[in-house]
Amino acid sequence: MSDATAKPAAPLDEVMLAMDVVDTLRHRQDLVTRELDGSAREGQLIERLREIYRQQGIEVPDHILKEGVEALAESRFAYDPPAPGLNTTLARLYVGRKTWGRPVLLALGALLVLSVGYFGIYRPFQAGQEHRSQVELTEGLPAQMDALYNTIFEETKVQQAVVQAEALVNRGKAFAAEGNRPGAEGIVEDLTALRDKLRQEYVVRVVNRSDEQSGFWTFPEINTDATNYYLVVEAIDPDGKALSLPILNEETGETEVVAQWGQRVPEAVYNAVAADKRDDGIIQTNEVGLKSDGFLDVQYQMPVLDGAVTRW
């Protein structure tokens, strides 16, 4: 459209007056309803508006009043909110970014730190731990078993220890192959205990102190007509230290680690030791047996019977 035919733009003050008229009509909704929805003509509404402005000391030209009435009818100078939708939602989020932006950025930062920590540090560390654990189970523990077996084989003086160690190693390696870590670790403990037992050295002696009991006898519960005789004994190492040993209690069937126990002996042996102590208060022959390096069992120097008790 050329400049000659284009409609000249309305002055800014007239536009502002028209907007004010519309705003007045909106705030005087009772006037709009009464005049527009009734039978009165448009001129009567304009006259009413002119009176309102005149009371405020403002002279508004008729064409401005008429334009304001028309603008109200056409919904000009009115804001219609956009229809709901994705674009509207995104626009509102963008406009309100100062409200939600900082918390969201902090949350994203925390999530990033957690992700880096979990996937970049914790997961690789855990995977490394699992790998090392698997290597120890499949290689480390079997290697420990072999090393303990070789030590037992070299240090033992009895074939019984070799047979026991070989059986333990076979079971332990089967556990390792199955992924049974507790079972494999238990076998390593058993082999270690077998090795330590071979290395032990001590003398089994009758307790030979005036203030302590050296022997006793009991009636077994399963046969009250019989009498069991026991010598109270202890294990003394080469340094003179009393050892605590695992002893199977024949009355309860339980193994207990004790420093003293009752070793069952024939009645004749019990009587001989009792007579020895009554003679001068000291048992001259008080060594019951000897446990030497490389052996599993005690080599008894006086007759004993199978069976021991840990309480009396």
Q: What is the mean pLDDT of residues 156-175?
A: 96
Q: Is the dihedral of CA 36, 40, 43, 47 positive or negative?
A: negative
- Residue 275 C-alpha from the chain's centroid: 65
| Selection from 204, 250, 251, 211 nearest residue 231 by Cα | 204
Q: Is 248 helix (H, G, I), strand (E, B) or coil?
A: strand
Residue 10's pLDDT band, with cuts at 50, 70 and 90, is: very low
pTM equals: 0.57
Q: What is the pLDDT of residue 11?
A: 55
Burial class (CB within 10 angstroms; exposed 0-12, middle 13-18, buried 19+) of 203: buried
pLDDT digits (tens, 9 = 90+) for 256-309: 999 999 999 999 999 999 999 988 888 999 999 999 999 999 999 999 999 999
The residue ranges of every structural domain in the chain are: 12-73, 99-199, 202-309
Q: Cβ(230)–Cβ(215) under 8 Å?
A: yes
- What is the per-residue pLDDT for 280? 85
Task: Give percent of the chain above pLDDT 90.
Answer: 49
Q: How many residues does the chain have?
A: 312
- Predicted confidence at residue 171, as pLDDT, reads 96
Query: In the prediction, which pLDDT does 109 show?
Result: 86
Distance from C-alpha of 55 to C-alpha of 301, rounded to nearest angstrom: 136
